[in-house]
Amino acid sequence: MEIVKLIGVAIIVLGFALKLDVLAVVLVAGIVTGIVSGLDFFYILEIIGTSFVNNRLMSIFLIMFPVIAIIERFGMKERAAYLIGKIKDASAGKVLSLWIVIRSLASAMNIRIGGHVQFIRPLILPMTAAAAEASKGCRLTEKEDEKVKGLSAASENYGNFFAQNCFPAASGVVLIQSGLAVAGYDVTLSSIASASISVMIISIILTMVQVFLFDRQVKGGKK
Amino acid sequence: MTDFLGVYFPEFFYVLCGLVCFDTAFRARKNEEAKIGTIIFWTLTGLIFMLGKVIPPVVTGSMLLVMGCLTLTKQVKMGKFAEAAAQSKQAASERIGTKIFIPAVTVGVIALVLSFVKYDAVNAEGVATPTALNGAIMTGVACVLALILAFVICKPKISETREDTSRLLMQVGAACLLPQLLGALGSVFSEAGVGEVISNMISSVVPKGNIVIGVIIYVFGMVIFTMIMGNAFAAFTVITAGIGVPFVIMQGGNPAVIGALGMTAGYCGTLMTPMAANFNIVPCAVLETKDPKWSVIKAQVPMALMMIAVHIILMLIIGFR
């Protein structure tokens, strides 16, 4: 009964769908999967503990919090709104389009610009929100505000994901090469990277379409 | 000499992360609700950051269990904080002007500069290899410098900065640990052999020989498996060996192109899954969206679906030239 090992996947899907406590759901999924696969309980805890500590880099953004705390208290959002307000016909779509091009090209050259904590909250979101208000001429509704946040976060992900493999030494490219090598196909890193360029270009275009559609929605919602 | 920059220096920045957690635990003593639970939660988080390499993994795992019990029983809560007055923010903004952006820009510029730095890492056999700096050092150095600049430019009160930092961390809450915990879940899955089970199931039902069907199954296999695992890298290894090679590449596909597109097809799945917490759920908390889980994913689903179609078409056109 190999299929019983998938119980962890089922627990995750159910737990997330039912909006149960995420930390507990993930822990239960891990422990149950381990137990039905015949792993010792304490060995499971050991795997979880080891992996959790090895993944601390994912949460290194915590040390950025004091910086954000200070610059927000000293009026960074207000300043962003002021500067964007001075630009003629600024709009959320224009700000995010510019951002996706910069973010994608930087990502393709393995330049580390980006991050939801490092860039989106302190810089991109305030500018996008201010631009959306400027183009609308009045305050955003709660729904529009939510959409601005969603799109700002999304643009960071688009630029990050779909452009990173254009860099030949990106970890994804290296993994593709080694995965193919195991299967008996030797390909060069640069051939994988150049095959990734079309995806980057199309993703930039589609991002622009999405954010300009949002612009129209915001301007239409003025009445 | 051991590799100081690679092994010990990053720990310094994890200690700083731990201090941020401890300060939040200390602030939690003012909580009206769930005081004890919140204090314990952030203290344990701080300990794992600070002493992660010293504490035995079994103990870390047990600490995580305790933390899971605390969040499950709703014993971790956000305290009450006084918001800075809009007027004082406006006044500060007019006084400081555009200089307020310097710290934020510094983080990017310094991290960028440091990403080009290479040093000779000496391994146990005494062989030196040029190595890039650890990511923790890049972000850590950049943030510490930015913090110093922010202090010089804004001259904030320490007590206010501590309040605001604790508020930010409590707002993000347990979500900030989710990416690490899901990474740990992935390790358990791979130890248990979950990947093999799924790829066996898929390859037993798919007919071989039809290129279009092969491409569609490979792309969707990457998308769905990435959504389940929350990680395209984990999916790639399993799905490319199980589906990509027999159903697409062996039918005449160009390995480099199919492999490259297979990976980015997986990223379409990443855009749609709460399992990729660091990309989709933590940003909700960081940007303070109303919906704590789905705001970012909702914005991304139309894009992801379009990109899936794009991948299938691209694979059929440029993958079989």
> Using CA of residue A174, residue B222, residue B134, residue A107, what is the dihedral sign?
positive
Among A65, B132, B206, CA closest to B219: B206
Lowest mean pLDDT among A16-25, A188-197, B62-71, B310-319: A16-25
For residue B134, the one-letter residue type is N
**Domain-by-domain residue ranges, chain A?**
2-54, 59-220
**Mean pLDDT of the B172-194 span:** 84
**Beta strands, E only, B148-277:** none
DSSP 8-state assignment for residue B75: -
By Cβ distance, the residue of A63, A113, A180 closest to B16 is: A63
A192 close to A214: Cβ distance less than 8 angstroms: no
d(CA A124, CA A95): 8
The reply to whether A40 touches chain B by the CB within 8 Å rule is no
- Whether the pLDDT of residue A74 is over 60: the answer is yes
Pairing of strands B118-122, B128-132: antiparallel
**Mean pLDDT of the B167-190 span:** 85
Q: What percent of chain A stands above pLDDT 70?
A: 97
Which of A56-65, B51-60, B83-92, B223-232 is predicted most confidently? Answer: B51-60
Interface test mutation site (partner B, options A13, A110, A120, A176, max chain B beta carbons within 10 A): A176
B79 close to B27: Cβ distance less than 8 angstroms: yes
Mean pLDDT of chain B: 89
Q: What is the ipTM of this complex?
A: 0.83
Q: What is the pLDDT of residue B177?
A: 86
**Mean pLDDT of the A137-160 span:** 94
Q: Is B164 exposed, middle or buried (0-12, 13-18, 19+ CB in 10 A)?
A: buried
Is the model more confident about B66 or about B135? B66
Among A88, A117, A114, A90, CA closest to A101: A114
From chain B, pick out residues whose CB is under 8 angstroms from the CB of A160. Answer: 279
Residue B198 backbone dihedrals phi, psi, to 5 degrees: -65, -45
Band of residue B318 on the pLDDT scale cut at 50, 70, 90: very high
Do A52 and B61 lie within an 8 Å CB cutoff? yes
A141 close to A96: Cβ distance less than 8 angstroms: no
- Whether the pLDDT of residue B286 is over 50: the answer is yes
From chain B, pick out residues whose CB is under 8 angstroms from the CB of A172. Answer: 232-233, 263
> Using CA of residue B243, residue B248, residue B250, residue B255, what is the dihedral sign?
negative
3-state DSSP percent of chain B in helix, strand and coil, to 5: 75, 5, 20
The reply to whether A112 touches chain B by the CB within 8 Å rule is yes
The number of residues in chain B equals: 321
Among A171, A82, A176, A189, CA closest to A129: A82
From chain A, pick out residues whose CB is under 8 angstroms from the CB of B132. Answer: none
- Whether the pLDDT of residue B197 is over 50: the answer is yes
Among A100, A132, A147, CA closest to B295: A147
d(CA B120, CA B130): 4
Helices vs. strands in chain A: H and E counts, helices first: 11, 0
Do A22 and B174 lie within an 8 Å CB cutoff? yes
B257 close to A195: Cβ distance less than 8 angstroms: yes
> Using CA of residue A58, residue A62, residue A67, residue A71, what is the dihedral sign?
positive
d(CA B194, CA B192): 6
d(CA A191, CA A166): 10
Mean pLDDT of chain A: 89
Do B310 and A70 lie within an 8 Å CB cutoff? no
Do A187 and B259 lie within an 8 Å CB cutoff? yes
Neighbour tally for B32: CB within 10 Å: 8
Residue B309 backbone dihedrals phi, psi, to 5 degrees: -60, -45
d(CA B40, CA A128): 38
Maximum separation of any 2 CA atoms in chain A, in Å: 66
**Mean pLDDT of the A147-166 span:** 95
The reply to whether A87 touches chain B by the CB within 8 Å rule is no
Do B255 and A156 lie within an 8 Å CB cutoff? no
By Cβ distance, the residue of A59, A79, A110 closest to B97 is: A79
Q: What is the pLDDT of residue B108?
A: 76
Q: What is the pLDDT of residue A223?
A: 46
Is the model more confident about B43 or about A220? B43
**Mean pLDDT of the B28-34 span:** 91
Band of residue A1 on the pLDDT scale cut at 50, 70, 90: low
The reply to whether A161 touches chain B by the CB within 8 Å rule is yes
DSSP 8-state assignment for residue A87: S
Among B222, B232, B231, B226, CA closest to B184: B231
A52 close to B180: Cβ distance less than 8 angstroms: yes
**Mean pLDDT of the A183-192 span:** 89
**Mean pLDDT of the B239-261 span:** 91
Band of residue A132 on the pLDDT scale cut at 50, 70, 90: very high
User: Which residue do the tokens 């954010």 mark?
Assistant: A211
Do A176 and B260 lie within an 8 Å CB cutoff? yes
A95-121: per-residue pLDDT in tens? 999 999 999 988 888 776 778 988 899
